Amino acid sequence: MIIDNDETLRKIIKLNLMKTIGCDVIEMTSAKEALDLMRILPELDLIICKDLIKAEKAEKAGLIVANYLKTESLKTPVLVIGNKDSDYPYVSSIPANAPWKDIVAKASDILAPGEEVPEFVPVSVHYFLNINTIITGCDIYIRVKKSESEFQYVKRLHAGDQFIREDIIKYQESGLREFYISKDNFTTFVNFVTAELIKKLADTSITGKERVTLSSDAYKITTERIQNIGIDEITIELVEESIASMNNLLKEQNSLVMFLKALYANDCSFAYAHTYLCCLILHKVINSFEWQSPQIKDKLTYIAYFHDISLTKQSLTEINSQEELDDSGLYTEDKNAVLNHALQSAAIVEKFSKIPNGVGAIIKEHHGTKSGIGFPETLSHSLLPLSMMFVVTESFVDEFLKIEGVPNSENLKEIFAKLQPRFSKSTYGQTLIAIQGMIQNKKK
């Protein structure tokens, strides 16, 4: 179990522990939440707990957990990130500022000292969509179940094999979601794929639907790379090329029509469709405001690109209200990810250099709350003007993407009729009017 209110760090540690030693990991955001579960699930091999968690106002989270285990006479090892502050005999610690790799290494030593770790780790199929050969020395396998507890790994692609995108799509259509790769080759392979993707994004001859598909693939790999590897130089370069690619799409003639063709042909993911459509509409809408400028448009591109970057599951990006969240049937972990994603996405943005000033603040407010948590019942008029503009634009995009098939004029009338009562004042109302004007111009 890992207890930390930093979702990004939780995900990185979880995924890397799964890859290195093959263990299952439960995520918790606070010691109180963890104790509730531990009362019905006491059998844990290790608890990793951040020492200081904002939600724990009375005591330190690590101390709460250690004291509970001591009181219950349990012997569960605890790894505290920070000061251990406890006489519980089974607690160890690592500095609060320790990099995630050190935390994973220490946890691995506790969980599996001297044991052989799994030879293969999963790699999502979509990593293979934009390459046509495998890096030297890196064979690719599929996993076949031999029994309830045993798996067999069967080689499907040899190092150096040539293949095309359609070959990989056939695997996807057959239900395959992951290939497997030697754990020793994982980082090298992901960096190889990322480098190839960066080259393609920089190729100005790629246009239209092909660029939409490429940009969609790049967006998915960016979100997974942030979670799996973190924000390194290669991740930063991929983001920069992805932003440039999105800007190139916006400059193409009939950019909306071209995008919709790709969307209805299932050539891009929902997450990227949501991101790109928000960006496209914001770039059009801002022209209706006297304070528009190239710098503001640049900022809007980053806001659109990063606003959901902390969400790695498509099902989570489709939830945009408290009602939808209540009806979703999601586990607590996923519900918390949705509720906190504005705050978490803003935190991720702040770790990138060369991001326009103020982007993080607007992403934090993009669901209408100053805290970046949850969905407000009533609109706040204390948000930044760009935040208000984004709230309205995203609400329109959410409704637009719910329409099955190509939207018609009646669909659009229904969307505006639904949004108008909520967005009628100040920048909210001005933005909705601007979107209506943009749609009418497109019809003409």
332-343 confidence digits (pLDDT tens): 778 888 999 999
pLDDT tens by residue, 230-286 = 888 999 999 999 999 999 999 888 888 888 888 888 788 899 999 999 999 999 999
Q: How does DSSP classify residue 242? A: H
- pTM for this model (two decimals): 0.73
Candidate from 110-124, 153-167, 273-287, 368-382 with smallest mean pLDDT: 110-124
Average pLDDT in the 339-362 region?
Answer: 92
Percent of the residues in the chain that have a pLDDT greater than 90, as a whole number: 48
Q: Tens digits of per-residue pLDDT, 310-319?
A: 997 878 888 9
Task: Name which of 30-34, 224-228, 239-243, 360-364 the model is least confident about.
Answer: 224-228
Distances (CA, A) of 210 to 171, 276, 392: 21, 15, 29
The CA–CA distances, whole Å, from 341 to 94, 306, 313, 355 equal: 27, 11, 12, 19
Average pLDDT in the chain: 88
What pLDDT sits at residue 444?
46
199 pLDDT band, cuts 50/70/90, is very high
Say yes or no to pLDDT of 420 above 50.
yes
What are the tokens at 6? 């930093």
The residue-averaged pLDDT of 167-193 equals 88
Statement: 2-111 belongs to CATH 3.40.50.2300 = yes
What span, in angstroms and rounded, lies between the C-alpha atoms of 134 and 36?
46
Count of CA atoms in the C-beta half-sphere (13 A) of 174: 11
Digit-coded pLDDT (tens) for 47-63:
999 888 765 554 688 88
Q: What is the mean pLDDT of residues 117-130?
A: 82
Q: What are phi and psi of 3, to 5 degrees?
A: -120, 110
Tokens standing for residue 115: 């044991």
pLDDT tens string 77-88: 999 998 877 788
Reported as a pLDDT band with limits 50, 70 and 90, residue 145 is confident
Confidence (pLDDT) at 443: 53
Architecture of domain 208-443: Orthogonal Bundle (1.10)
Q: Which of 225, 324, 314 is nearest to 273 (CA)?
A: 314
Compute CA 444 distance to the chain's CA centroid, rounded to the nearest angstrom.
Answer: 37
Measured between alpha carbons, how far is 78 from 61 in angstroms, rounded to an integer? 12
- Domain-by-domain residue ranges, the chain? 2-111, 119-201, 208-443
Residue 362 has pLDDT above 90, yes or no: yes
Instruction: Using a pLDDT cut of 70, give the percent of the chain over it.
Output: 97
As a whole number, mean pLDDT of residues 168-194 equals: 88
Predicted confidence at residue 148, as pLDDT, reads 73
Least Cα distance to 124 among 189, 173, 180, 164 occurs for: 180
Q: 198 pairs with which residues across the strands?
A: none
